Each structure stands twice: as C-alpha cells, then as structure tokens.
Amino acid sequence: MKSEIHEFSKPKINVMNKKIFLVLGVCGAMAATLSSCNNAAETEKLTNEQNAKIQSLVDEKLTALEGEVATECDAEVLTAATAQYDSLVLAAAATKGGKKPAAKPTAKPTAKKEEPKDPQKERAGGSGTQTEIQKQRNADPAKTDVENQKKRN
C-alpha cells in the first residue's frame, strides 16, 4: 500500500510543477509584452531630443557659414566701392582742369585656390598619356603589347 501512494503522488507533483511553470511563464511573457508596448511616450521623447540636437548642430553650421559669406561679401563690396571712389575722384579732378592726382593702387584680388594635383602624374616616370608612356619605354606604338614586351626582354 505504501508503494501505491508513493506512485500516485509522484505524478501529481509533476503535473503541478508543470502547471506552476506554465502559469509563471505566461505571466512573465505578458509582463514583458505590456511593458515594452507602453514606451510610446518615451520613444516620442527620445525622438524629440534627437531632433533638437540635430537642429542645433545645423543652426551652428549655418551661422558659421553665414558669417564667412558675409565677411567675404563685405570685402568684395569694399574693394569695388574703393575702386569706384578712386575713379570718381580722378574724373572730378580731370573736369576741373587741374593736375591729375596720382592714382592709388587698387587692391589686388585674392589668390585663387590651386586645384589638387594628381599624384599619379607627379611621381617619377608617371606621365599622363599612353603615348608619352610608350615614348619613355622606347616602344613602337604601331606594334602590339606582346611585341613590345618581347622587345624589352
């Protein structure tokens, strides 16, 4: 009789353990699902913060570029105005019949930026065109590449 009770109680414990783990698993899954879906407000808040940071960076760059363009424009306007003033002074002096005043030297325009050079063409032995390369190799352009290679070997 003792063995019968022990045999019947053993399966009941396994079934109860399975039910407990199943209930706990379902409750945990529901909690995780509900907590992850309830973050719409946080997502919107993070998006707004990121947009604000991006906008501030764009504003800083724009302000810097506007300042740079304004100084360049002011310099060009000043040189043009100075040149116009000098020409008007010369014209006024010429109409009065007096001596012409010495012309003031005008401001020299700023140096243009040099374009970057091609390092392939600057290196030793590197010329731009195929004909120049063939001349350097002392090859005949009428012959094929195979014939030229045979000639070099």
What integer pLDDT is reported at residue 60 of this predicted model? 95
Q: Is 97 left (phi over 0), alpha (psi -120 to 50) or beta?
A: left
Q: What is the mean pLDDT of residues 54-67?
A: 95
Q: Rounded distance, CA 66 to CA 71, Å?
A: 9
- Our CA dihedral for 23, 29, 30, 33, rounded to 10 degrees, sits at 180
In terms of Cβ atoms closer than 10 Å to its own Cβ (0-12, 13-18, 19+), residue 86 is middle
DSSP H or E run through 128: none
Residues 6 or more apart from 128 whose CB is under 8 A from it? 121
Q: How confident is the model at residue 61 (pLDDT cuts 50, 70, 90)?
A: very high
Is 121 in contact with 128 (CB distance < 8 Å)?
Answer: yes
Three-class SS state of 105: coil
Nearest alpha carbon to residue 151 among 132, 130, 134, 129: 134
Please compute, for residue 26, the number of CA atoms within 13 A of its CA located in the half-sphere on the CB side.
5
What integer pLDDT is reported at residue 49 of this predicted model? 94
Tokens of 56: 């501030």
How many CB atoms neighbour CB 143 within 10 A?
A: 13
pTM of the model: 0.35
Tokens of 120: 């392939």
What integer pLDDT is reported at residue 39 of this predicted model? 72
Q: State pLDDT tens for residues 95-128.
A: 876 555 556 666 666 666 666 666 666 655 555 5
Choose the weakest-confidence range: 6-20, 73-87, 100-114.
Answer: 100-114
